[in-house]
A and B are shown apart, each in its own frame.
Chain A
């Protein structure tokens, strides 16, 4: 079953690696200085001599800017996911292993954060800070952590009364040892897969924050900021203005495909993307009736359907906003 799935995963991974490689190799690939422009050459259309993708309103080479912009843009997408992955995993495990009080405290806090549309929460946090890459990373980390914590929590709770955990406790394992050697190996892969599926979203959010002027400061090239800079040119040079939009769209598709492929490969257990909102915290609307992801598990094992088109409810993009995990209270 996994044999015919592996190449797709590798392919998706390689495709998602492409923008990262381009970002790393930006100094080698960029034909011109991304911040120095010739005013005489401003707003050249794509295909102009010497400027493959044209120039912006200050005569700066667009291709070079797009390549260099990959660095802050991808950093602003990847770093918050890493931070949220770590913080969320720790919070989720703590809530899952801790007592009822810790659990309730965490779940209620998450509910409040869930009550915010993700972009708005990011805006609220970022508008408090000095605009820059740091503000974007911090704001997105805050937005993404609850979703990861919820995933880690569900996974921890699934195993918290497992016999091997009990055995470890009885044999005198300390808390750090218990977490590191028994819980983390179970929770980490699930969190990793889930976090991967958030990267596309984080990149889109990061560019969105820069577009709103809350990200990196000019003249540093950044995709969202470029979108804003080129916006006035849309009526005279529509294709120039569309270029950063297309780049963000493409990168988002690449990372989302990777996330979905990984989720499909690791299987339903790692795919907490029940239909968003299918269930929520402690008083779940998902406990009644079987969550669709479980209904799926049945017929998925009987068919050799391609994971990409399997009817599995995966919800990558606004996951932190809408994915509510089913909590099965006994």
Chain B
């Protein structure tokens, strides 16, 4: 088990390096010369040379990459050009907000996905099965920004049931856990729909396979009731659920760009949107890097959990 985890951990290193290289390249390849942008076109050659040396542009690209990587590893991602604050200081609080939203959405994904998948697997034929398929197709096809706008239009503006944005009410009972939940419901739903549909599909496929297999036949032959058969079969179908669940968790991280922007949720996604609008490259770079790293980290965790559940994986 330890050996397996170590191997996985080592395999993540080249991936992370690749991610960082792509992120670095996005800034290094950006059209336009930063020296000219800073000093203006008429600046004397000595001044240009001095500035290029000061910000390190005179050095070869690989050296600059290693330098940048070294700083990134120590938590220094540069200074945001639009706010003049350290990128890390902006990213960390936003990461916390994003994780709150992601956790809420993930709870919805698991609950809804397992429910829809189980319902579909229990009655695969007829109109019921079709209804479940249609529901997951609809969920899978629903872009987060569309869902977000529709939810705001219906629940926040038309019926005025739930808040349209933010993390807490400015007045009154603002700040309590109930208040946070009320503010979480709509954005979490908008973020959860696509992963929910995918999870439902995969769980349905895995569960049907087990329910049609020898295990289920054997359990039924021994006289177990439907609920008991389902319970045992669900356990055997759980590795697929775990894998898809983990990947959906990672997928939620990208959906938040739209959801957070539309719901004014002060997380990474909204920060990234603001950075894009201001063409704040260090901030874009840092945001993409942190999400990419989270993506790799989640995949690693899924592998570890998979190995815990299914001993065959450890090999």
Contacts and interface: CB of A to CB of B under 8 A. Distances in A.
Interface string A191-225: 00000000010001001100111100000000010
B133 interface: yes
A257 to B, nearest CB: 6
A116 B22 contact: yes
Contacts of A321: 247, 250-251, 254
Given A116-B295, A245-B145, A316 B140 contact: yes
B202 interface: yes
B254 A127 contact: no
A299 B212 contact: yes
B302 A242 contact: no
Contacts of A111: 15, 18
B99 interface: no
Contacts of B22: 112-113, 116, 121, 124
A42 interface: no
B246 to A, nearest CB: 7
Interface string B100-139: 0000000000000000000011001100011011000110
Interface stretch (B53-61, B76-84, B150-158): B150-158
Contacts of A246: 146, 150
B205 interface: yes
A276 B143 contact: no
A207 B295 CA distance: 23
Interface stretch (A50-58, A151-159, A303-311): A303-311
B243 interface: yes
Interface residues of B, number: 88
Question: Contact residue range for chain A?
Answer: 35 or more
Nearest to B23: A124
A180 to B, nearest CB: 33
Nearest to A112: B18
A125 interface: yes
A275 B141 contact: no
B276 A277 contact: no
A207 B143 contact: yes
A112 B250 CA distance: 15
Nearest to A280: B299
A215 B133 CA distance: 33
Contacts of B152: 234, 238
Interface stretch (B26-34, B63-71, B85-93, B178-186): B26-34
Interface string A109-121: 1011101111111
Interface in A305-330: 305-306, 308-318, 321-322
Given A212-B273, A296-B209, A252 B142 contact: yes
B271 interface: no
A6 interface: no
B222 interface: no
B279 interface: yes
Contacts of A275: 202, 205-206, 240, 243-244
Instruction: Tell me the dominant secondary structure on chain B's binding face.
Output: helix
Contact of A124 (B129, B288, B299): B288
A163 interface: no
A127 B124 contact: no
Interface string B223-234: 000000000000
A260 interface: yes
Contacts of B23: 124
A123 B306 CA distance: 31
A234 B157 CA distance: 8
Contacts of B204: 311
Interface string B245-283: 011101101110110011000000000110011010100
A276 B247 contact: yes
A36 to B, nearest CB: 26
B288 A311 contact: no
A24 interface: no
A272 B213 CA distance: 23
B95 interface: no
Interface in B144-182: 145-147, 149-150, 152-154, 157-158, 164
A241 B149 contact: yes
B62 interface: no
A269 interface: no
B19 A123 contact: no
B145 A120 contact: no
Nearest to A129: B31
A126 to B, nearest CB: 9
Contact of A311 (B146, B208, B313): B208
Q: What are the 5 tightest A-B residue pairs by CB atom distance, in nearest-first order?
A: A112-B18, A117-B254, A238-B153, A311-B208, A245-B146
Given A311-B121, A311-B208, 5 more contacts: A120-B257, A127-B281, A311-B204, A311-B207, A321-B251
11 contacts: A208-B143, A245-B149, A246-B146, A249-B141, A283-B7, A285-B306, A289-B239, A308-B133, A309-B120, A313-B202, A313-B205
